[in-house]
Amino acid sequence: MLCLKARAKINWTLDILGTRPDGYHLMDMLMQSVALHDTLWLDHSGVLSLEPKDEGANSFNESGDHLSSATVTFDQNNLVFKAANKLLDYTGVKKGARMILRKQIPSGAGMGGGSADAAAALVGLNRLWNLGLAENELQKIGLTVGADVPFMIGGGLARVSGIGEVITPLPRANTIWLLLIQPCDGLSTKEIFTGFDAMPQNQIIRPDNAAAQAALAQNDLDALGQAMSNVLEPTSLQYRDEMKLAIDKLKEAGAIRAMMTGSGSVVYGVFSSYQHAQSAQEYMRYDYPACKMTETVHSGVVFDES
């Protein structure tokens, strides 16, 4: 049986440059993999099946704190199933697999949980079925499942543009400690993008992607904090006041910068060290029992060989 870690992501920056004729938004983002992950087990079977991992299923962390996972289903609508079927269609093979998924990445969070799971399915089934597909082929298939899937396959730190298919890997940056909070229910990505489209252009606070990229390379967290921005954040905050309160609380706890990732609803604080993040977690736990520490990592989907 194969075991894979499907790692979540955060956005250091998120900008929208326009829309294509088909309605897809053109993005310009700095994205980074983090240690928080779902786990996918794969084994040979005559048919495709997907089931939850009983112990710890849908838990945000091992202490039992929970974030939103109510939208996760284990039927044909799950992105793991969709990715597996797209892989079968692409290769023309007739294969099956027993797939077991343990969720820890919260849903409706802007952390790419479903996309990470789909990426793990593509990487894992490629090995299980001895297909021999290259990473760029898996990314091509992944794009038909979701815009974040191509990045989630390789992960690490990257500049991502287009609708998610143009990925420029960046050199490894130093590990950065983060504190994650999901202060409210998940948000509708479609609803948030529609709200952004209606926003006057002069109200949009855009990130400085070049400056953020340079700050990460130089491990200058103060400069990174100044360059970071997410153009979707004002729209999301209109729908969820709780997110604004959580961002303010993270700043009170000593975060160098606090911001929403993706289209929400997780917000995160950037801290200068593990000790500072840990102290902030203790400070935040009274108001946000499910706050979670994590760290940046250098890859997306990885096989767990232990």
Q: Among all chains, which residue has been given the structure tokens 């729209």?
A: 235
* Dist CA 211 CA 37 (whole Å): 28
Element (H, E) at 274: helix 274-284
The amino acid at residue 34 is V
Q: How crowded is residue 298: how many other Cβ atoms within 10 Å of its Cβ?
A: 14
The residues spanned by each domain of the chain are: 2-170, 177-295
Q: Determine contact, residues 117/6, Cβ cutoff 8 Å.
A: yes
Q: What are the angstrom distances between the C-alpha of 25 and each of 149, 159, 201?
A: 16, 16, 15
Q: Which two tokens stand for residue 290?
A: 């499910």
Residues 6 or more apart whose CB falls under 8 angstroms from that of 49 comprise 96, 97, 98, 99
Cα separation of 36 and 295, whole Å? 8
Residues paired with 7 in a beta bridge: 37
Predicted TM-score (pTM) of the model is 0.94
185's tokens: 């229910």
Q: What CA–CA distance (Å, rounded) separates 306 from 304?
A: 6
Contact (CB, 8 A) for 51 and 266: no
Question: Under DSSP, is residue 14 helix (H, G, I), strand (E, B) or coil?
Answer: strand
Class of the CATH-defined domain 2-170 = alpha beta
Instruction: Work out the number of other CB atoms within 10 angstroms of the CB of residue 189.
Output: 16
**How many angstroms separate the CA atoms of 227 and 169, rounded?**
19
The CA distance from 26 to 32, in Å, is 19
Distance CA 126, CA 39 (A): 17
| pLDDT tens track, the chain, 306 positions | 999 999 999 999 999 999 999 989 999 999 999 999 999 999 999 999 999 986 544 445 444 344 555 568 898 999 999 999 999 999 999 999 999 999 999 988 999 999 999 999 999 999 999 999 999 999 999 999 999 999 999 999 999 999 999 999 999 999 999 999 999 887 788 889 999 999 888 888 999 999 999 999 999 999 999 999 999 999 999 888 999 999 999 999 999 999 999 999 999 999 999 999 999 999 999 999 889 999 999 999 999 987
Q: Which are the catalytic amino acids? A: 9, 148
Superfamily designation of domain 177-295: GHMP kinase, C-terminal domain (3.30.70.890)
What stretch of H or E contains 11? strand 2-19
β-pairing verdict for 157-162 and 48-52: unpaired
